[in-house]
Amino acid sequence: MAKKQEKAPKKPVMEPLEPTNQTITDTLRVNYMPYAMSVIVSRAIPEIDGFKPSHRKLLYTMYKKGLLTGQRTKSANIVGETMKLNPHGDAAIYETMVRLTRGNESLLTPFVDSKGNFGKVYSRDMAYAAPRYTEAKLDAFCIELFRDIDCDAVDMIDNYDGTMKEPTLLPTTFPNILVSANTGIAVGMASSFCGFNLHEVCRTAVACIKNPEHDVLETLPAPDFPTGGEIIFDEAEMRRIYETGRGSFKVRAKWQYDKKENLIEITQIPYTTTIEAIIDKVAELVKAGKLREISDIRDETDLGGLKIAIDLKRGVDPDKLMDRLFRMTPLMDSCSCNFNVLIGGMPRVLGVRALLEEWTAWRTECVRRRVYFDLNKKREKLHLLEGLRTILLDIDRAIRIIRETEEDAEVIPNLMIGFGIDEKQAEFIAEIKLRHINKEYILKRTQETDALAEEIKRLEEIVKSQAKIRAIIVKELETIIKKYPAPRHSEIIRAEEVKAFDESDHIEDYPVHIFLTREGYFKKITPASWRMATEHKLKDGDAVVWEGEATNKAEIIFLTDKQQAYKARLHDFDDSKASVLGDYLPAKLGMDEGELPVCALLPGDYKGTMVVVFENGKAARFSLESFETKTNRRRLTGAYSDRSRAVAFFYPVDEETELTLFSTANRAMTFRAGMLDVKATRATQGVQVMVLRAKHTVCRAVRCEDAGLSDNGRYRCRAIPSIGALLKEEDLPNPQLTL
């Protein structure tokens, strides 16, 4: 009997969800805004201590593990412990740690003493090793972060699962917000802090505390970077950054020329770029033929530090080459500043002075809390010693009370009753060892009580005086300056001392022959190449319609059939040969679809006038200055009038230049260019020169000497407009042969 086939269970039918009536604004407010605020407040924007939460949690974990004074431990151990405070993956925590290490060289004042491969901030490809291979501990400098951490200087809060306490801020004894470079991208805002030299920041903080009107730029001239480089100092721009917290400045690489080896050695680069980005860009320019002076470039970075070597060809000027490299590669880069910091949980963009004021106010509160904490401790100790003094005045009585007490639990109450002291004092006295009941011990405790009272009085005065607290801050800052060496890495160069880049100085100038064809192809040929071969390679039906002689630095203007002008330099075009088609101008100059050049001219110094002859018999004369622009614009619209099709363009022309027009009625006329008034605008429609009847048009226009007429006097007119004269039989165009 066949086994009965079991039926598959029916799939549950999904009921359609009921549509909600929640508006998009409610969705954003309920779902998106909490996420956005979390990123801004708890992740991407640093606070006044100069740290983001991820930095703070990592450093505090290392401090609690005893890594400030102990031996290094595996980075994997540190990452694992940090996850108790930081609910992110181990990769993100380790990457945060890498940036804080001395080995990575990201910070001017690194906080982690590292051993092993932690990569380099200036290299994209030098990857850091896995955390199981590297070791780390807190740098000795971190004592300035945790000096007051156990003195109630900052608030402690629960971690994410409520099992541990962590500080809301680290009580840094120096303005770390300006010393440590920091960047972050939040939701709808970002933050970008460049680093400043530790000594300069501390001196500036001291100066601003002593004199609120202090000029910050005097003691804090410019930022500083661990990768060095040269900062192009523009005082006006730097003041704007210091005042507003926003702006940018230029940083360029530091280099030297080895004359013996004929190579350039780059030893410091901008903080914002990498070795690989520089080499890739230089190689791209060499491959494109824009840097012909370089024969090789390589990365020679080793244990001695960063080095990029550039081999030069013979006869190359290294200074001019570096000027070009600064302009064309990341060897000179802009560093953007956006001093966005969380103050009391609110993001604010502050200038340097405002940041120092906020830090000073916050640090003042930290010191006040620390002093108050010490004050309470000493008060408690004084309170105990005062109880001890009461007992020691009649020590025999105290001993008798203790001996006569039958139960241990009654010792404290009996001492309290016998001497009129409180429970803490009685507990302290009961714990004194028998050996301490001697004259020396009693004398020392009595003297300590007097000294403690004086110290408490001094601390009470400090707590009440903001000036004395500020004096403590100043003393701590001055101690940091003396204790920790911090030489400046980046050199400052004033902007006026930097020679402005002049592109013409870096372009080789030599004579060239230039040609334009009807189909829009352009050739630039050197005289030597032109002498080798003068037969042009052209597409079928194409022909050369214009040619000229110029130099490689000359400017050229192309006029198109869409009434537009395109300006270019001849050095923008590669040297060509007669045996190639040349550059296709519509593609080279980015012309509109279907647009073709109809004329080329060499403007020179933009002096003189040009004449445009139109199909309707009109001619316009205007100054070439109308094509001159102050900015480096490549395209000009309205190059000439669009009322009628242009037949011919003439430049240069003067008052005596004679032009001959031919019409479809087999008529011709010659007139002087001086008969046309010079117009101010190039888009003028011109004046009637040749009178046309019926549907006849001007079909051709040439200079008089190129007209090939048998009798020029017959066609020369005395005034315009003119109908012209009928062409003689010998002047008529040759008739085409017909079958």
User: What residues are annotated to the active site?
Assistant: 133
Structure tokens at 250: 């230029």
**DSSP assignment, residue 31?**
I
User: Beta strand 491-494 with 230-233: parallel, antiparallel or unpaired?
Assistant: parallel
∠ CA 288-292-296, nearest 5°, is: 95
Count the Cβ atoms, other than its own, within 10 Å of residue 21: 6
Residue written as token pair 């000179």: 332
577 to 427, 507, 537, 574: CA distances (angstroms): 105, 20, 9, 10
- Beta bridge partner(s), residue 612: 620, 649
Count the Cβ atoms, other than its own, within 10 Å of residue 732: 10
Structure tokens at 89: 């993956």
Amino acid, single-letter form, for residue 391: I
Amino acid, single-letter form, for residue 475: K
Closest CA to 208 of 317, 364, 326, 104: 364
Amino acid, single-letter form, for residue 717: C
CA distance 148 to 706: 95
Contacts of 217 (CB under 8 A, 6+ apart): 235, 238, 239, 242
Say if CB 501 and CB 400 are below 8 A apart: no
Q: Indicate the angle between helix axes 439-464 and 466-483, nearest 10 degrees.
A: 100
Structure tokens at 512: 């060239």
Residue written as token pair 């969380």: 342
Count of alpha carbons within 13 Å of 614, Cβ hemisphere only? 21
Q: What would the DSSP string read from start to end of 182-220?
A: EEEE-SS-EEEE----HHHHHHHHHHHHH-TT--HHHH-
- Tally of residues, the chain: 739
User: Beta strand 254-258 with 263-268: parallel, antiparallel or unpaired?
Assistant: antiparallel
CA distance 5 to 23: 52
CA distance 690 to 667: 10
Contacts of 475 (CB under 8 A, 6+ apart): none
